[in-house]
Amino acid sequence: MRDSRRLPLPERERRWPAFLLVPLLAAAPPQEAPAQDIPISLNQLGFEPGDPKTAIVEADGAPRDWQLIDAAGKVLASGKAWPFGPDAASGAPVQRIDFSRFGVPGRGYRIRVGTSESAPFAIAPNLYRPLARDALIFFYHQRAGTPIEARIVGAKWARPAGHAREVAKCFAGKDERGTEWAGCPYTLDVTGGWYDAGDHGKYVVNGGISLWTLLAAHERNPGALAQGSGPAPGLLAEARYEMEFLLRMQVPDGTRLRVPVGKPEPAPGRAAREASQAPFAEIDASGMAHQKVADARWTALPMPPQDDTQERLLYPPTTAATLNLAVTAAQCARIWKGIDAGFAARCLSAAERAFAAAGRNPEVYATGSFTGSGGYGDMDVSDEFYWAAAELFVTTGKPEYHQAVTASPYLTAPVGEPGWPQVATLGTITLATRPSALPQAEVRRLRGLLVAAADRFLADAAGNGYRIPYLATGYPWGSNGALLNRAMVLGIAGDLTGNPKYRAGVIDAIDYILGRNPNFTSYVSGHGLFSMRNPHHRFWAPALDPALPGPPPGTLSGGPNSTAMVDPVAAKLKGHCAPQRCWADDVHAYALNEVAINWNAPLLWVAMWLGA
């Protein structure tokens, strides 16, 4: 593929890294950077003294000489780069610079190759603590139903409550396919929770994996971020805010609803398949969870949530959403047991009711009938059943949940990269790392599966020039989140074995996220000299309305996407970018540069693991 950074440009621009050429960056104060004859990328935040330290040079030919210089230009170390050669993922020949032996704390360091210099960086202990705090405060910014206070986030990001009192009825009537929905005989107060991404929807499925990741980070290290920075909420306070919302999305007992049950019948042709619908049936929906609450139609950009006047609707319950509720409520029950016994009991009751409801209704799937909000459709929820059974077994020790765990093929299956549609790995993580009645031989076997997955991820790093534990012919939507979920598995393998190679793998992943990538950009706003500034977001959109703020520090871009280039910005790049370069810092690039709670959650987990 052609490299988008090498498409024809005015002569005066040809020597500048691609991220400086995005027109919408004019919305933020411009940053000056040296012209680079030889592009150099590295973690713009920096490195802890004892960690591996790598920079990447885009250059072919003989190994390039490099120097490490301080803020005054004094040479502190030097050497030769190691040539990897042509790199399909980045579309360029690359060489690697290893300066791991240098560990003297300081700021303003740079790597120099010829006349080119890298962005400045630091070497310091506890480097990732501010990143972890900011990644957590992102969730406070995404809150619905409460004012975002200046005393916590500063006047720039303060705003009135969005959807301050959200009492919603169920969708009823004809959907966009002409299918008639009966609705439900109640309304629910679903105030609160987190907006999912750049839109105003609140989704139980994606909220589930996001909340699980925060709570798993807490269980690994209960002391870290237990208290917020200053008046900011701590991790458990933030997690409880979402948990309360998920509990509100549960269908009341004694409710019967008419919903599609089973998978749609196969039909020839794409249009026919998209229009197909599983047959409706009346079910006992007691204890299930609604898939989402969202606007009836997509809102325009920009649109601060307090200005959103569209009707908010509950959309039908699904088995996947119900199991996500069971998972997080089971976690809640064991974590809050010694903190707030009443809340813990309420969570456990909801979890067990949800698991039972999913068992009664194992094939109620999300449909593509409602296009004013995200679908999060999943036609295989066997992994969600395993995940929920694992959480409930660890929390309660009850034989019925142990039986559900041992009956699942996922208990012995190889572990893969987790994500909201593939959550079996998360169940294995819980069984392998949390105290339970599972036999120790079984725990050791599960730990071996996690370590084996981590080793596969490390092996993937050898296949790409930027040496990240990710190997793909095409980069998917939210590739940064996928990489960080792999880093979480690497971190767990590090915990289980004590082998430093796993920390090195996590460092490779976070280095890429924070600037060691062919876009020469830190994908986390406010962390690194050249960081993402124009996410696809409805109220962090200064490029569309100068009165609106840009993203707060700690906000992660979804990242390169070469497989679903469906937005207007991505469409222009399609066919002209190597996978890692299929990205733009543009508010309109929803397939490339949206933000989402399920991507920021592993960023928080990894930053905490690295030293929060």
Give CA–CA dist 183/298, Å, rounded.
20
Mean pLDDT of 166-183: 95
Give CA–CA dist 209/194, Å, rounded.
13
Tens-digit pLDDT profile for residues 70-95: 999 999 999 999 999 999 999 999 99
Question: Could you tell me if 86 and 3 are in contact, meaning their C-beta atoms sit under 8 angstroms apart?
Answer: no
Question: Could you tell me if 93 and 58 are in contact, meaning their C-beta atoms sit under 8 angstroms apart?
Answer: yes
Mean pLDDT of 35-42: 85
Mean pLDDT of 290-305: 96
Q: What is the pLDDT of residue 456?
A: 98
Q: What is the pLDDT of residue 382?
A: 98
Residue 276 has pLDDT above 80, yes or no: no
Q: What is the pLDDT of residue 267?
A: 60
The domain ranges of the chain are 129-438
- 36 confidence band (pLDDT: 50, 70, 90): low
Mean pLDDT of 200-224: 97
Give CA–CA dist 179/100, Å, rounded.
61
Mean pLDDT of 184-191: 98
Q: Residues with catalytic annotation?
A: 199, 536, 585, 594
- 265 confidence band (pLDDT: 50, 70, 90): confident
Q: CATH for 129-438, among 1.50.10.10, 1.10.3470.10, 3.40.50.2300, 3.30.210.10?
A: 1.50.10.10
- 229 confidence band (pLDDT: 50, 70, 90): confident
Q: What is the pLDDT of residue 275?
A: 54
Mean pLDDT of 400-419: 98
- 266 confidence band (pLDDT: 50, 70, 90): low
The residue among 509, 391, 502, 524 whose CA lies nearest residue 450 is 502
Residue 2 has pLDDT above 80, yes or no: no
Structure tokens at 57: 């040079």
Give CA–CA dist 65/59, Å, rounded.
11
Q: 473 — phi, psi (to 5°)? A: -75, -25
Q: What is the mean pLDDT of the chain?
A: 92
Structure tokens at 41: 């990328």
Q: What is the pLDDT of residue 16?
A: 28
Mean pLDDT of 15-29: 31
* Cα distances (angstroms) measured from residue 396 to each of 10, 49, 333: 65, 43, 9
- 368 confidence band (pLDDT: 50, 70, 90): confident
| Cβ-based neighbour number of residue 189 at 10 Å | 11
- 35 confidence band (pLDDT: 50, 70, 90): low
The residue among 482, 487, 497, 380 whose CA lies nearest residue 432 is 497
Q: What is the pLDDT of residue 11?
A: 24
Amino acid letter for position 105: P
Residue 598 has pLDDT above 50, yes or no: yes
Tens-digit pLDDT profile for residues 511-531: 999 999 999 999 999 999 999
Give CA–CA dist 502/533, Å, rounded.
31
Residue 21 has pLDDT above 60, yes or no: no
Q: What is the pLDDT of residue 177?
A: 86
Residue 273 has pLDDT above 90, yes or no: no
Residue 23 has pLDDT above 70, yes or no: no
